[in-house]
Chain A
Amino acid sequence: MNNSLKRILLAEDSVNDVELTLIALEEHHLANQVMVVRDGAEALDYLYRRGAYAERKDEQPVVVFLDIKMPKIDGLEVLRIMKSDPHLQSIPVVMITSSREQKDLLKSYELGTNAYVVKPIKFEEFVNTVKELGLFWAVINEPPTKGKPNLN
């Protein structure tokens, strides 16, 4: 699994969820490719290479996992900004949330998310879901934007 250039951006405010996600990804040795940001603003800083990430030189992530409920800027807003930016709209986005609200799901698909996953309470299911997503986007699927948007 030689994918050192392929990266997963995980935007998640709950430290416990971060931990669980990383453990799940660890099962497939993908954890060291995960970039964790703790709110929507940081996620956007990372994607736009600004603020703390102004010096970032590596490629854009191959997939972005977004929690919906986050401080500062929520996941739906990050999704909206990404999908309306021609440089970022081709990066697959997966909404991962504990919300079962219909309106969140509808809103996410309206904004163009690539997948919507309700975090299962059952840990085993969560592992499988994240594993599938992680495997699918980071390993199996070739990113459509390989080496493309260079915002510098």
Chain B
Amino acid sequence: MNINHDQSNSHLRVFELFSQVVSVFTIIVGVFVLIGWWLEIEMLKSVIAGQATMKANAALSFIFLGLALWLQPNSSNINHHIKRVARILALAAALIAALTLIEYILGVDLHFDQVLFSDPTSATSLSPPGRMAHATALNILLFSLAVWLLDANSPRQIFIKQLLTLTGLLIGLIALVGYIYGVKELYGALYYASVSLPSAILFVLFGLGVLCARPAAGVMSVVTDTHYGGVMMRRMLPLVLTLPFIIGWFRLKGQQAGWYGTEFGLACFATSNVLVFAFATWWSARNLNVIDRQRNLMAQDAAHLAAIVTSSEDAIVGKNLQGIITSWNVGAEKIFGYPASEMIGQSMEKLIPSERYNEEMSILSQVRQGVSVLPFDTVRICKDGKIIDVSINVSATKDMLGNIIGTSKVARDISARKLTERALRESEAQFHTMVNAMPQLAWMAEPDGRLFWYNDRWFEYTGTDSAQMTGWGWQSVHDPEMLPLIVENWERAIATQEPFEMEFPLRGADGSYRWFLTRAVPFKDTEGRLLRWFGTNTDVSDKREAAKIINELNIKLEQRVIERTAQLEKVNVELSESQAELSSLFESLPGLYLVLTCELNIVSVSDAYLKATMTKRENIIGRNLFEVFPDNPEDQNATGVSNLKASIDRVIMNGEPDTMAIQKYDIRRPDGVFEEHYWSPINSPVFSTGHQIKYIVHRVEDVTEFVLQKSQLSKGSVDLSAQLQQMEAEIFQSSQKLKTSNQQLEAANKELEAFSYSVSHDLRAPLRHIDGFIEILQKRNENILDSKSQEYIKIISNAAKQMSQLIDDLLSFSRMTRTELMYQKIDINMLIQEFIRNLDPVTRQRNIIWKINPLPHVNADNAMMRQVIANLLSNAAKYTRLCDAAEIEVGAEVLENEVVFHVRDNGVGFDMQYAEKLFGVFQRLHLAEDFEGTGIGLANVRRIIARHGGRVWAEGTQGKGATFYFSLPYQLENKNE
């Protein structure tokens, strides 16, 4: 049924509108009839002249009825007072009709028939003049009561109202048919008066109007029903109501015209009616069949839909607008785990994670507002607590009339899909990360060889973008000379679907080519169909370069191996020669030497030892010491072997030489007799490179003679030792003195350091204060101070600055004595050039002739020598300031043990009598006004030169210039350079 709410309403409103139109029409007709009476216009009273007229009272009653109906449209909110007015109007009409009926029934004249207008024309009629017909009066009474009962509620009252209406309608219809068919009896019933034509028409219309005024009540409900019965009714009723009359009218007119007799006419009439109604019935039946068939189909559809819903794998959930679940299919149970019994009547709340409540609320509100909701993905909680991904499709459910009554929600478990998607995304991300992370350039190509994808490295290296590279664009970054071969190989690979491998250069973003090893492998599906090519370009430039270098290196290495082998061979020869030399050298040593292994086997022996012990080399080499030299078996007190063993053990244990006491050790002569001998042996370890004792050198001195004479010598040696002791004491005393004075010197140095630090900080502070405050003073009183005062202030300020300069100089002077000298080779020429280069602009513009003779290099402290040169040269420049043609000459003379430098100028010079004062601290020979300076420069020069072990002196004549000399010690090696 496709009747929606609006259509249904408009359908009812058509009836109501009809009712309203009828009521207005009734009022208009009534008014026109009254006008007709007033102006004596017959047309208006009776429509057809000579026929019965509508009486003024009837017209008035119709006006009342029309108003009463018009004031009560079918609406719930009619004003209470209006309703009352309408009912009073209905009662007024009823009163008129009732009084008229009483007149007829009791045969009295209540004299109100002509109250409005006199009625001279109706004298012919059976009823008294001006009185409406009795049928009219009755009908008006019926309608009045029906209108009065218009909004009755109880079924009985509705029944009465409609019975009254239908009766009135029937009476009106009979009168109307009478007029149409010309049957006087029908409208002039009961002989007394006739119902006028306008009245008859109004009765029919008004009756219908009253019925339509409340179209949903009583019998009308069948007519207005939206079901097909109502539709049928509305289609058939006009036919049923009008056709018989129309057919009858034609039959009557034909008969009156004499075309046929009564029988034939009746036969025609009956046949026509049968035909028409048979057709109408057939038509209705056909419609009903169609409808029934549709309904059956719909029932099937519904069953089908229900089956679909039930068997769907998706969860299909119906909800009302409050979000309460009204249906829950098997799919929902499968997905969420809750059976329908647990969910119907509940809200969705427990399925929705708390953070997604808003989502649900917004969907509900969208549905309520009739906005369609797009499908969306979200998550839901199952009964077992598992959270699943679902895709949800929400649509509004509507009733027959199109009202939104809830939502239907289709939810699909997409966990698996999400998982696959995620896995796919991850693997894609992995792939991209991997191909972009790898150092190679990478790309993919279609089976036909067109490249369609490159990794970031490709674009970074080539400096291209994907638009340039797609398809065969890669050719643009290739060496044009190589390209034909590459294309040929690549096309062959494509044709054979075999892997491609080739080394060729690719042009980088900077335009230079690098060599790449390019590999492409065909990627095939399980059925062996080629899907794409996967290619990489590996930068092998460095490798190629390295290979080249390695090759060169190899050649060089080989050459060097050959050279080195030759060298080694030569060295070997030399070594063996020198070994032999060394060996013979050792053997010819004048001392008595024996070289032993740690096991005391004899390795080497000097000729002198052989001679002293009366042995031969070949007899003792390789043999054990004690085997060769045993104790004298005849001497019971012999301890030689055991003492020597103990000494050698000490050497091995301590790793230090061990001097033995004089040892009696008899020598066995070749003839076997032992000869008495005394020895002074010393055993020394010889270490290998691993600090292991390798050999022991056993050196002895034959002191036999000395031992035999020693008793005579003992007295003289006492004097000697006394002398020695006295000397030692003296040495000790003087070393103690030295130590003390060293400590004093150190303390003085420290004190000096502390003093100069304190000077640096404390002497400077008051100066800064003087300068600072004098400046503030000047600033604040600039306008008050006269020029003299201003000058004084300037003098104070300058004095402070000068004092500060003095402190700085003094500090640098003191620092000079403390700083350690850093000897290095210095080119004095360079220092002089540097000084001249950095001259201040004023001096540079002066006319100075620099004569710099070649100077030797010296070994000295660079920073200090720079200061010496700077002091001497700036002095020379300063004191030649008054000369027109200043001349400064630097030279050096190399003497036996020293080199003497001199700086000569033709400036103001000095009196030789003060020559020594020149080098004193703060000593000056000139006024500060004439030549600026603090008098520290030459003092510094003297200090520095003195510290280098040299001398400083000066020669000069007043007004004729001065020469400053300094000397530095000059070593032999300096002269060679």
Identity of the chain A residue whose Cβ is nearest the Cβ of B775 in the assembled complex: A123
Complex Cα–Cα for A24 and B751 (A): 36
B801 partner residues in chain A, CB cutoff 8 A? 121-122
B765 within 8 Å of A (CB atoms): yes
Contact residues of A between 71 and 117, Cβ < 8 Å to B: 97-101
Question: Nearest-CB distance from B796 to chain A (Å)?
Answer: 12
Complex Cα–Cα for A100 and B276 (A): 134
Complex Cα–Cα for A70 and B293 (A): 115
Question: Nearest-CB distance from B771 to chain A (Å)?
Answer: 5
B393 within 8 Å of A (CB atoms): no
Contact B771 A98 (CB under 8 A): no
B226 within 8 Å of A (CB atoms): no
Question: Nearest-CB distance from A120 to chain B (Å)?
Answer: 8
Q: Of the candidates A19, A98, A100, A120, which one forms a contact with B765 in the assembled complex, judged by CB atoms under 8 Å apart?
A: A98
Complex Cα–Cα for A101 and B756 (A): 10
A123 partner residues in chain B, CB cutoff 8 A? 768, 771-776
Q: Of the candidates A98, A120, A121, which one forms a contact with B761 in the assembled complex, judged by CB atoms under 8 Å apart?
A: A98
A48 within 8 Å of B (CB atoms): no
B764 within 8 Å of A (CB atoms): yes
Contact B764 A121 (CB under 8 A): yes
Contact residues of B between 754 and 786, Cβ < 8 Å to A: 757, 760-762, 764-769, 771-776
Complex Cα–Cα for A14 and B766 (A): 10
What per-residue 1/0 map shows which CB atoms of B795-812 lie under 8 Å from chain A?
000001100100010010
Contact B773 A99 (CB under 8 A): no
B766 partner residues in chain A, CB cutoff 8 A? 16
A99 partner residues in chain B, CB cutoff 8 A? 757, 760-761
Known A-B contacts A20-B769, A98-B764, A98-B765; A121 and B800 likewise in contact (beta carbons under 8 Å): yes
A58 partner residues in chain B, CB cutoff 8 A? none
Q: Give the residue among A14, A101, A121, A123 with the most B Cβ atoms within 10 A.
A: A121
Contact residues of A between 35 and 90, Cβ < 8 Å to B: 68-69
B768 partner residues in chain A, CB cutoff 8 A? 17, 20, 98, 119-121, 123, 126
Question: Nearest-CB distance from A90 to chain B (Å)?
Answer: 29
Interface size on B, residues (CB 8 A): 21
Contact B760 A20 (CB under 8 A): no
A119 partner residues in chain B, CB cutoff 8 A? 764, 768
Q: Of the candidates A17, A20, A121, which one forms a contact with B804 in the assembled complex, judged by CB atoms under 8 Å apart?
A: A121
A23 within 8 Å of B (CB atoms): yes
Complex Cα–Cα for A14 and B757 (A): 17
Complex Cα–Cα for A37 and B950 (A): 53
A19 partner residues in chain B, CB cutoff 8 A? 773
Identity of the chain B residue whose Cβ is nearest the Cβ of A14 in the assembled complex: B765
Complex Cα–Cα for A97 and B765 (A): 9
Q: What's the dominant secondary structure at chain A's contact region? A: loop
Question: Nearest-CB distance from B183 to chain A (Å)?
Answer: 113
Complex Cα–Cα for A122 and B762 (A): 16
Question: Nearest-CB distance from B814 to chain A (Å)?
Answer: 12
Q: Give the residue among A23, A68, A101, A126 with the most B Cβ atoms within 10 A.
A: A101
Question: Nearest-CB distance from A21 to chain B (Å)?
Answer: 10
Identity of the chain A residue whose Cβ is nearest the Cβ of B757 in the assembled complex: A101
Question: Nearest-CB distance from B766 to chain A (Å)?
Answer: 8
Known A-B contacts A101-B757, A101-B760; A20 and B772 likewise in contact (beta carbons under 8 Å): yes
Question: Nearest-CB distance from A146 to chain B (Å)?
Answer: 33
Complex Cα–Cα for A124 and B774 (A): 11
Question: Nearest-CB distance from A95 to chain B (Å)?
Answer: 13
B762 partner residues in chain A, CB cutoff 8 A? 69
Question: Nearest-CB distance from B778 to chain A (Å)?
Answer: 10
Contact B769 A17 (CB under 8 A): yes
Complex Cα–Cα for A130 and B404 (A): 80
Complex Cα–Cα for A17 and B762 (A): 12
B765 partner residues in chain A, CB cutoff 8 A? 14, 16-17, 98
B760 partner residues in chain A, CB cutoff 8 A? 98-101
Q: Give the residue among B762, B764, B772, B804 with the most A Cβ atoms within 10 A.
A: B772
B800 partner residues in chain A, CB cutoff 8 A? 121
Complex Cα–Cα for A17 and B811 (A): 23
Please classify how large the interface on chain A is, using the bins under 10, 10 to 19, 20 to 34, 35 or more: 20 to 34
Tally of A-B residue pairs with Cβ under 8 A? 56
Contact A20 B773 (CB under 8 A): yes
Contact A97 B804 (CB under 8 A): no
Identity of the chain A residue whose Cβ is nearest the Cβ of B765 in the assembled complex: A98
Question: Nearest-CB distance from B93 to chain A (Å)?
Answer: 93
A69 partner residues in chain B, CB cutoff 8 A? 761-762
Question: Nearest-CB distance from A131 to chain B (Å)?
Answer: 14
Question: Nearest-CB distance from B78 to chain A (Å)?
Answer: 75
Complex Cα–Cα for A101 and B768 (A): 17
Complex Cα–Cα for A99 and B775 (A): 22
Question: Nearest-CB distance from B794 to chain A (Å)?
Answer: 13
Question: Nearest-CB distance from B262 to chain A (Å)?
Answer: 122
A120 partner residues in chain B, CB cutoff 8 A? 768
Complex Cα–Cα for A98 and B772 (A): 13
Question: Nearest-CB distance from B820 to chain A (Å)?
Answer: 14
Complex Cα–Cα for A17 and B765 (A): 8
Question: Nearest-CB distance from B756 to chain A (Å)?
Answer: 9
Complex Cα–Cα for A123 and B177 (A): 133
Q: Of the candidates B757, B767, B773, B776, which one forms a contact with A121 in the assembled complex, judged by CB atoms under 8 Å apart?
A: B767
Identity of the chain B residue whose Cβ is nearest the Cβ of A100 in the assembled complex: B760
B767 partner residues in chain A, CB cutoff 8 A? 121
Identity of the chain A residue whose Cβ is nearest the Cβ of B768 in the assembled complex: A121
Question: Nearest-CB distance from B853 to chain A (Å)?
Answer: 37
Identity of the chain B residue whose Cβ is nearest the Cβ of A13 in the assembled complex: B765
B773 partner residues in chain A, CB cutoff 8 A? 16, 19-20, 123
Q: Of the candidates A100, A101, A126, which one forms a contact with B772 in the assembled complex, judged by CB atoms under 8 Å apart?
A: A126
Q: Give the residue among A16, A19, A23, A123 with the most B Cβ atoms within 10 A.
A: A123
Complex Cα–Cα for A124 and B769 (A): 12
A100 partner residues in chain B, CB cutoff 8 A? 760, 808, 811
Question: Nearest-CB distance from A35 to chain B (Å)?
Answer: 21
Complex Cα–Cα for A69 and B757 (A): 11
Identity of the chain A residue whose Cβ is nearest the Cβ of B811 in the assembled complex: A100
Q: Of the candidates B757, B764, B774, B776, which one forms a contact with A23 in the assembled complex, judged by CB atoms under 8 Å apart?
A: B776
Question: Nearest-CB distance from A98 to chain B (Å)?
Answer: 4
Complex Cα–Cα for A99 and B765 (A): 9
Contact A122 B771 (CB under 8 A): yes
Identity of the chain B residue whose Cβ is nearest the Cβ of A103 in the assembled complex: B757
Complex Cα–Cα for A69 and B761 (A): 8
Contact B775 A124 (CB under 8 A): yes
Contact A97 B761 (CB under 8 A): yes
What per-residue 1/0 map shows which CB atoms of A1-23 lie under 8 Å from chain B?
00000000000001011011001
Contact residues of B between 93 and 124, Cβ < 8 Å to A: none
B771 partner residues in chain A, CB cutoff 8 A? 121-123
What per-residue 1/0 map shows which CB atoms of A114-152 lie under 8 Å from chain B?
000001111110100000000000000000000000000
A126 partner residues in chain B, CB cutoff 8 A? 768, 772
Question: Nearest-CB distance from B823 to chain A (Å)?
Answer: 22
Complex Cα–Cα for A20 and B765 (A): 12
Question: Nearest-CB distance from B746 to chain A (Å)?
Answer: 18
Identity of the chain B residue whose Cβ is nearest the Cβ of A15 in the assembled complex: B769
Complex Cα–Cα for A98 and B757 (A): 11
Question: Nearest-CB distance from B755 to chain A (Å)?
Answer: 13
Complex Cα–Cα for A144 and B889 (A): 62
Question: Nearest-CB distance from B589 to chain A (Å)?
Answer: 59
Complex Cα–Cα for A110 and B811 (A): 24
Complex Cα–Cα for A90 and B808 (A): 35
B757 partner residues in chain A, CB cutoff 8 A? 99, 101
Complex Cα–Cα for A69 and B767 (A): 16
Identity of the chain A residue whose Cβ is nearest the Cβ of B758 in the assembled complex: A69
Question: What would 9 A/B residue contacts be, using CB atoms closer than 8 Å?
Answer: A16-B772, A97-B761, A98-B761, A99-B757, A99-B760, A121-B767, A122-B801, A123-B774, A123-B775
Given A99-B757, A101-B757, A123-B771; 8 other pairs, CB 8 A cutoff: A20-B773, A23-B776, A98-B761, A98-B764, A98-B765, A100-B811, A121-B764, A121-B800
Spell out A's residues near B (CB within 8 Å).
14, 16-17, 19-20, 23, 68-69, 97-101, 119-124, 126
The 7 tightest CB contacts between A and B, nearest first, are: A123-B775, A123-B772, A16-B769, A98-B764, A20-B772, A99-B761, A121-B804
